[in-house]
Every structure is written in structure tokens, then in C-alpha cells.
């Protein structure tokens, strides 16, 4: 069977043509070629970080001795250095990955200097004429020589017809190996390799009922295959976690109070299969993963988990606003066994809905979570509150004396419970900063706002909170937190005084 490639100006087409004698294109003695989709029994283990392990067991009839074996329909993003091939009474001598794939551009590139047929159609009569041409160049346009003249293909119209495929050009990604077969006969050949172009993440749909404080959550696996190669009817296993792949690790996500994330890591073990330090999510039965496809499969369905809505606002050091700023709305829940989702949560996006006055679920925001152990506390930053606002203002900033600094030593912020001894060998300038925070609530119900002041620590670990109108909590050396209840249709003014070396 011969391939004839047809390329037209502006449109490219590959067509299988003719039924001539197969002897010319038949494989050489001792080689094996598989027609169509050559994949066998497939197993795919897919990781989160653009990686998959593909195991493909093909039943092949191998002759005795050295055999050149073409294994087409492997991933176009295969990592050739990871390939292993195993078959009974067989050893591997050499392997190559042929990634020079068939396309109109590559066909023209490979045909420079070769003779082709130029076919034109008379638009008035529909009659086709054929001329012999030679491809001269294919750089920013295709130049062909017809007799004693040179033409640009895009200007002449028509199409080029090629007598066959140039050597080395493959229609599909192909792994070529040379085996030493100790015996002839049909037996399974196991091909294993790592490939990029795969990934998966979790997508969660959460329905929040504020009146009951309950959350219904459905979890979906969203699977992506961007390799361009289809993997039909395979066994699929998903691994939650980022396996080491030679890349620098991403910095961990830190919860800072304004957005969502892991508030407190859990210590419970989920009732799921584990592989080393990772959780495994097998997909029941077999599934087909198309070449360019996104697929979703359910893995979590929880009703009535405990949840609450919260309002948070974090002010930076010396942060002062001319206008009131919206607080961040958080959705808080746990992944614990009792009262929570009761499972480990793979990294993904949580989308939160609430029912409107007509009972219809409406989207109210989303946030991302990382891999979350069971028993963890989670806060999702799902948006900005319309009616709950905070206006921080720097009311004043003055120098204070060393004597005043020592007088307020009992208000000093420390780490580990013990003050640090500091030797002063130069004149120290002390500062007293007076802050006010105006909290307003236009809702018909009271709300509690978690207001945080950041930037209190500048390496000295001895900042003082010498006055505050509401008792706060020192979360760490850098942050002071107040929980302020703001009445319905009301406001509260919080004041605080910080003594620092800066």
C-alpha cells in the first residue's frame, strides 16, 4: 500500500491512495509492523505534576534472532530515557524514539529537491491538469520549479501530490527497538515509560446552608491529556501528590488570613489506599482517555458537614485608607472524621454555592486548596463582603523617650515566653504609632470580624502593644488579631497603640 500526500494552497490534506503491490513498501525480513492502533492492554498511573506512568502490554509474534520492532501509538511526549521493554526469552539491543511526525510542513521540508506532481483545476470547466514539478524551498512559502520557470505555490493555486512518504517521517509517534529473540512465537511484550502531558486535579462543588451551618460537597477528578495520543479502554490510577521529577519544589502556600488555605494541618489517616507518601485514587472499571481531552469522574460525596461563614481583614504595617475596605468572606470547614468531610482532599478548586430566595443554587465564590490531610481546618477566601467593611487609619506617629520605652516593657511581645537581652551601643529612636479601625456592618444581623494587624515584628521581637480598646490575641510576633462583634446596621471603632524601634 502506498501513501500519497496531497497539499493545496491554504488547505492541507493527507489521503490514503491506491492499492498497488505491497512488495515495495513491505517490511524487511525480521521486522514487525502493527497496523492501526497498535496499543494493547493499557494501564495508566497519572500524577498531579504533568506526569504519567504508562504500561502497555502488546501481544506480538516475534521471529527468532534479531528483530527490528516498531511500536507506534506511544505518547508524543514520551520520556525516551525511561522506556523499559520486557518479553519472555528476549533482550533489548537498541531503542530509538522517532518524533519526526507527519505534517504538511514536515512533508514539504523533507521533499525539498524531490519531484512531485502539481495538479490544477480550471475553475470554468472543472478540468484538472497535471505538471511535473520539483520542490526548491519551503521557507516562508513553497517554491517549485516547473520546466524552465519557478513559481510560488500559494500564488499558482493547485495542489502538490507526492509519490510517497520521505524516509524517517512517521504518521504516529513511534518507538523503534531492536530485540534479540531467543525463540519464535507470539508472546506478551510489556512496554513501560513515563510521559509528560498528563495531569489531574480535584474540583469540588460545595452547597452551603447558612441557616443550618451545613455544607454538602461533591468532589470530581478532572483529568487532562495533552499528549495528542489516545489511550482507549485502559485501567487508570490517580496518585495525589507531587512526585519528585528533578524540578525545584514549589514554595509552600502560607495562610495569611485574607485568602483561603490550610489553617491547621490534620493528623488523621484517610481510609484510602496509599503508595509511599501519596494517596491513590483508582478509577473503577476501564476508561478511555482521548488525545486532547478533559474528563471528570466523581470521587467524593458528603452531605451535612459542619461549616460557617467568617469575615476577615488584615492591615499591613502603617496601612491607612481614605475609604473603608471590604472584608474578605471566608468559608470554614474541616476534613475531619467527625463533623467534617471525613477524607483527605487532593489539591484543587472548591466552588461554593448558596440557595437564593427562590431556592436556586447560586455561585458565591471559589478558592484553591493544596493537598489537605484528613482532620485539617480549611478556610476558603471566596470573595469580598459588600456590607462589612473596615477603614484603618494611622492617627499619629510620635517619638518616645527611652524612659517611656522601659515603662511599657510589660506590654512587650515576645517569642517563646522569654524576653531577649539586647545590647544597645548607639542611640535608639523609639516610635509610638496610634491606629484606629472603623468597622461597619450594613447587614440586618450582627457579624464578627476578625481584624488582624500585620508588620509588628521587624527582627527585634520586642514590639509593645501598649494600649488597645478591645483585648487582642498575639498570633505570632508579626500579627495581632482582634475578634470584634459589629451590631446590625452599626459600627465599632477599635483603637490600638504600638511602640516599636521602627
The pLDDT tens digits for 317-340 are 999 999 999 999 999 999 999 999
d(CA 346, CA 371): 5
Calculate mean pLDDT across residues 155-170: 70
Q: Could you tell me if 347 and 48 are in contact, meaning their C-beta atoms sit under 8 angstroms apart?
A: yes
Calculate mean pLDDT across residues 191-195: 93
CA-to-CA dists, residue 110 to 10, 105, 137, 170, angstroms: 19, 9, 10, 12
d(CA 6, CA 9): 10
Calculate mean pLDDT across residues 432-457: 96
Calculate mean pLDDT across residues 64-69: 87
The pLDDT confidence band at residue 17, using thresholds 50, 70 and 90, is very low
Q: Is the pLDDT of residue 277 over 90?
A: no
Q: Is the pLDDT of residue 423 over 70?
A: no
- Phi then psi for residue 308, to 5 deg, are -150, 155
Calculate mean pLDDT across residues 63-88: 87
- 499 vs 272, more confident: 499
The percent of residues in the chain predicted with pLDDT above 70, rounded, is 82
Mean pLDDT of the chain: 82
The pLDDT confidence band at residue 245, using thresholds 50, 70 and 90, is low
Q: Is the pLDDT of residue 175 over 70?
A: yes
The pLDDT confidence band at residue 13, using thresholds 50, 70 and 90, is very low
Q: Could you tell me if 81 and 95 are in contact, meaning their C-beta atoms sit under 8 angstroms apart?
A: no
- The confidence score (pLDDT) of residue 264 equals 80
- The confidence score (pLDDT) of residue 100 equals 52
Dump pLDDT digits (tens) for 384-411.
999 999 999 999 999 988 888 888 888 8
pTM recorded for the entire structure: 0.69
The pLDDT confidence band at residue 122, using thresholds 50, 70 and 90, is confident
Highest mean predicted confidence (pLDDT) among 105-109, 129-133, 184-188: 184-188
Q: Which segment of 180-189, 236-245, 250-259 scores lowest on mean pLDDT?
A: 250-259
- The confidence score (pLDDT) of residue 440 equals 98
Calculate mean pLDDT across residues 253-275: 66
What would the grid cell of residue 363 be? 455561585
Calculate mean pLDDT across residues 266-283: 82
CA dihedral 154, 159, 162, 168 (to 10 degrees): 50
Dump pLDDT digits (tens) for 223-242.
888 888 889 999 999 998 77
- The confidence score (pLDDT) of residue 291 equals 78
- 300 vs 164, more confident: 300
- The confidence score (pLDDT) of residue 18 equals 30
Instruction: Specify which residues 65 forms β-bridges with.
Output: 181
Q: Is the pLDDT of residue 455 over 50?
A: yes
Dump pLDDT digits (tens) for 29-49.
444 444 456 889 999 999 988
- The confidence score (pLDDT) of residue 31 equals 43
Which residues neighbour 32 within 8 Å (Cβ) at sequence distance 6 or greater?
Answer: 60, 61, 62, 63, 67, 68, 69, 70
Q: Is the pLDDT of residue 209 over 60?
A: yes
The percent of residues in the chain predicted with pLDDT above 90, rounded, is 43
CA dihedral 132, 133, 134, 138 (to 10 degrees): -150
What would the grid cell of residue 473 be? 490575641
- The confidence score (pLDDT) of residue 353 equals 97
Q: Is the pLDDT of residue 4 over 80?
A: no
3-state secondary structure at position 410: helix
What domains can you pick out in the chain, each with its CATH number?
Answer: 3-32+51-101+169-195 (no CATH), 112-161 (no CATH), 199-307+337-376 (no CATH), 387-500 (2.60.40)
Q: Is the pLDDT of residue 9 over 60?
A: no
- The confidence score (pLDDT) of residue 155 equals 60
Highest mean predicted confidence (pLDDT) among 57-71, 97-111, 269-283: 57-71
d(CA 373, CA 345): 7
Amino acid at each position: 500500500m502506498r501513501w500519497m500526500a496531497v497539499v493545496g494552497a491554504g488547505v492541507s490534506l493527507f489521503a490514503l491512495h491506491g492499492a498497488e503491490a505491497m512488495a515495495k513498501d513491505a517490511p524487511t525480513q525480521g521486522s514487525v509492523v502493527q497496523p492501526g492502533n497498535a496499543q494493547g492492554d493499557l494501564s495508566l498511573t497519572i500524577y498531579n505534576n504533568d506526569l504519567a506512568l504508562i504500561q502497555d502490554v502488546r501481544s506480538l509474534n516475534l521471529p527468532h534472532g534479531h528483530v527490528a520492532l516498531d511500536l507506534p501509538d506511544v505518547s508524543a511526549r514520551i520520556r525516551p530515557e525511561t522506556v523499559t521493554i520486557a518479553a519472555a526469552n528476549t533482550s533489548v539491543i537498541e531503542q530509538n524514539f522517532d518524533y519526526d511526525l507527519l505534517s504538511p510542513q514536515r512533508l514539504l521540508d523533507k521533499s525539498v529537491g524531490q519531484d512531485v506532481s502539481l495538479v490544477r483545476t480550471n475553475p470554468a470547466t472543472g478540468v484538472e491538469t497535471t505538471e511535473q514539478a520539483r520542490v526548491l524551498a519551503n521557507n516562508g512559502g513553497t517554491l517549485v520549479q516547473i520546466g524552465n520557470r519557478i513559481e510560488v505555490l500559494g500564488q499558482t493555486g493547485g495542489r502538490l501530490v507526492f509519490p510517497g512518504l520521505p524516509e524517517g517521517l512517521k504518521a504516529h509517534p513511534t518507538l523503534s527497538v531492536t530485540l534479540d529473540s531467543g525463540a519464535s512465537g507470539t508472546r506478551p511484550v510489556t512496554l513501560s515509560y513515563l510521559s509528560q502531558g498528563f495531569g489531574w486535579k480535584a474540583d469540588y462543588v460545595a452547597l452551603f446552608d447558612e441557616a443550618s451551618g451545613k455544607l454538602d460537597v461533591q468532589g470530581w477528578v478532572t483529568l487532562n491529556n495533552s499528549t495528542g495520543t489516545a489511550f482507549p479502554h485502559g485501567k487508570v490510577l490517580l496518585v495525589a501528590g507531587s512526585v519528585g521529577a528533578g524540578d525545584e519544589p514549589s514554595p509552600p502556600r502560607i495562610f495569611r488570613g485574607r485568602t483561603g488555605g490550610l489553617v491547621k494541618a490534620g493528623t488523621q489517616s484517610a481510609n484510602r489506599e496509599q503508595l509511599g507518601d501519596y494517596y491513590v485514587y483508582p478509577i473503577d472499571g476501564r476508561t478511555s482517555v482521548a488525545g486532547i481531552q478533559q474528563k471528570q469522574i466523581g470521587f467524593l460525596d458528603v452531605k451535612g458537614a459542619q461549616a460557617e461563614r467568617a469575615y476577615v481583614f488584615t492591615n499591613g504595617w502603617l496601612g491607612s485608607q481614605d475609604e473603608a475596605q471590604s472584608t474578605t468572606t471566608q468559608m470554614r470547614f474541616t476534613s475531619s472524621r467527625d463533623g467534617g468531610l471525613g477524607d483527605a482532599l487532593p489539591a484543587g478548586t472548591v466552588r461554593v454555592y448558596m440557595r437564593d430566595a427562590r431556592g436556586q443554587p447560586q455561585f458565591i465564590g471559589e478558592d484553591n486548596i493544596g493537598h489537605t490531610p484528613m482532620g485539617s481546618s480549611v478556610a476558603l477566601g471566596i470573595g469580598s463582603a459588600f456590607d462589612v467593611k473596615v477603614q484603618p487609619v494611622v492617627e499619629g506617629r510620635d517619638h518616645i523617650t527611652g524612659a517611656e520605652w522601659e515603662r511599657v516593657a510589660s506590654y512587650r511581645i515576645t517569642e517563646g515566653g522569654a524576653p531577649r537581652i539586647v545590647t544597645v551601643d548607639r542611640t535608639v529612636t523609639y516610635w509610638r504609632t496610634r491606629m484606629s479601625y472603623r468597622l461597619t456592618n450594613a447587614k440586618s444581623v450582627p457579624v464578627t470580624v476578625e481584624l488582624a494587624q500585620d508588620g509588628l515584628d521587624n527582627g527585634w521581637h520586642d514590639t509593645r502593644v501598649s494600649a488597645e480598646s478591645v483585648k487582642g490575641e498575639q498570633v505570632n510576633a508579626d500579627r495581632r488579631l482582634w475578634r470584634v462583634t459589629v451590631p446590625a446596621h452599626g459600627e465599632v471603632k477599635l483603637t490600638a497603640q504600638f511602640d516599636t524601634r521602627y
